[in-house]
C-alpha cells in the first residue's frame, strides 16, 4: 500500500481525490485547515473499506504557514507505510477575485502564499524522500486559468501560470529519475472555490468598482461544471500510471477545443473579444 498526501482535502477536488485514492488501495494523508471537515470524511468512505483508519489520516495544516511543515511532515512519516511517501497531490488553493485595480497587494501576496509558495514549500519537504527511493508522483492541480489568463481573477491566474512554469522546470530537473511531475488543468468544476469568494465580491461591488456589473454577471452566477469526481478520477490515473502524461486537461469538449485554438488566435483579437464581455 503506497502513501499519498493530498492538500486541500476537506472539500471539492481534494475531498473527491481522497475518497477515490482510498478506493484504489492507497493510504492517504488528507491535509486542510478545517480539521472538523477532514474528520467528517470518514463517514463518506465506502462501507466495504474495513479499518478505514488504516487508510485515511486527517491532519490539520495551513499550507500558508511553512513554519509548521516540519512538524506536520514528521507526523506523516511516523504513520506512513514503509516510512515513505510515493505521491503528493498539491490541491490546496483559492480564488482571490477582483480586477487588478481593485485587489490590494496584500491580497495578491496572500494568493501566492497559498497557491504557489505553500505548494512549493511542502513539495520540497517530500522531494528528498522521493529522490532517495527514486520513485514518486508530484501531481499539481493547476487550472485552465494557468494556460489562458482571465480577467477579474488575474491574481489566481498569475499563481497558476507561475505553477506551470515551476512545474516545467522541476519536470526537466527530474527527467532522469523515476519521479514524475504531472499537472492537472481543470476547467469549470462544481466546487465551492468561487462561492467561498462571494463576501469579497460583495465588498468589491460596494466600493463601486467599474467592473461591478461584470462581477455580478461572471462571478455570481457560475454555470454548472463537471463534478469534482471527474478531476479525482484523473488524479488517480496520474498517480497509478507507470507512464503518466505531463498534463491532463479536464473539462468539456468546448473547453479543450478552446485551449487548442487559443494559440492560433491573434492576441489583439482574443483580448478585444474578452474585453467586450466585461465592459
Mean pLDDT confidence for 69-74? 96
Q: What are phi and psi for residue 269, nearest 5 degrees? A: -70, -45
Active site residue 264: no
Tell me the three cell numbers of residue 190: 462544481
Number of alpha carbons in the 13 Å side-chain half-sphere of residue 277: 13
The pLDDT score that the predictor gives to residue 223 is 66
- What's residue 167's pLDDT? 98
pLDDT tens figures, 125-153: 999 999 999 999 999 999 999 999 999 99
| pLDDT bucket at 54, cuts 50 / 70 / 90 | confident
More confident residue, 51 or 273: 273
Range with top average pLDDT, 35-44, 229-238, 246-255: 229-238
pLDDT greater than 70 at residue 103: yes
Q: Answer yes or no: is pLDDT of 233 > 80.
A: yes
Give the model's confidence band at 53: pLDDT under 50 very low, under 70 low, under 90 confident, else very high. confident
The structural domains of the chain, ordered by start, are 3-278 (3.40.50.720)
50 pLDDT band, cuts 50/70/90, is low
**Angle (nearest 5°) at CA 142 between 137 and 148:** 140
Please pick, among 26, 55, 94, 156, the residue that the annotation labels catalytic: 156
Q: How confident is residue 254, by pLDDT bands cut at 50, 70 and 90?
A: confident
DSSP codes joined into one string, 163-175: HHHHHHHHHHHTT
Amino acid at each position: 500500500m503506497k502513501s499519498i498526501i493530498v492538500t486541500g482535502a476537506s472539500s471539492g477536488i481534494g475531498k473527491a481525490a481522497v475518497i477515490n485514492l482510498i478506493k484504489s488501495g492507497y493510504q492517504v494523508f488528507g491535509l486542510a485547515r478545517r480539521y472538523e471537515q477532514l474528520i467528517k470524511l470518514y463517514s463518506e468512505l465506502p462501507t466495504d473499506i474495513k479499518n478505514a483508519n488504516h487508510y485515511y489520516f486527517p491532519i490539520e495544516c495551513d499550507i500558508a504557514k511553512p513554519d509548521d511543515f516540519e512538524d506536520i511532515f514528521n507526523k506523516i512519516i511516523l504513520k506512513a507505510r514503509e516510512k515513505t511517501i510515493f505521491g503528493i497531490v498539491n490541491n490546496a488553493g483559492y480564488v482571490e477575485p477582483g480586477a487588478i485595480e481593485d485587489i490590494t497587494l496584500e491580497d495578491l501576496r496572500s494568493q501566492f502564499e497559498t497557491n504557489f509558495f505553500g505548494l512549493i514549500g511542502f513539495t520540497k519537504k517530500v522531494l528528498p524522500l522521493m529522490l532517495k527511493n527514486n520513485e514518486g508522483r508530484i501531481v499539481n492541480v493547476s487550472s485552465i486559468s494557468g494556460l489562458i489568463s482571465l480577467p477579474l481573477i488575474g491574481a489566481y491566474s498569475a499563481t497558476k501560470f507561475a505553477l506551470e512554469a515551476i512545474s516545467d522546470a522541476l519536470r526537466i530537473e527530474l527527467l532522469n529519475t523515476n519521479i514524475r511531475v504531472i499537472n492537472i488543468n481543470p476547467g469549470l468544476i462544481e466546487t465551492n472555490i468561487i462561492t467561498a469568494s462571494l463576501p469579497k465580491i460583495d465588498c468589491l461591488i460596494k466600493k463601486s468598482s467599474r467592473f461591478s456589473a461584470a462581477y455580478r454577471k461572471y462571478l455570481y452566477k457560475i454555470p454548472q461544471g463537471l463534478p469534482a469526481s471527474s478531476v479525482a478520477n484523473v488524479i488517480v490515473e496520474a498517480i497509478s500510471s507507470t507512464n503518466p502524461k505531463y498534463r491532463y486537461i479536464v473539462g468539456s469538449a468546448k473547453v479543450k477545443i478552446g485551449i487548442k485554438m487559443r494559440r492560433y488566435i491573434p492576441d489583439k483579437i482574443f483580448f478585444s473579444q474578452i474585453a467586450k464581455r466585461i465592459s
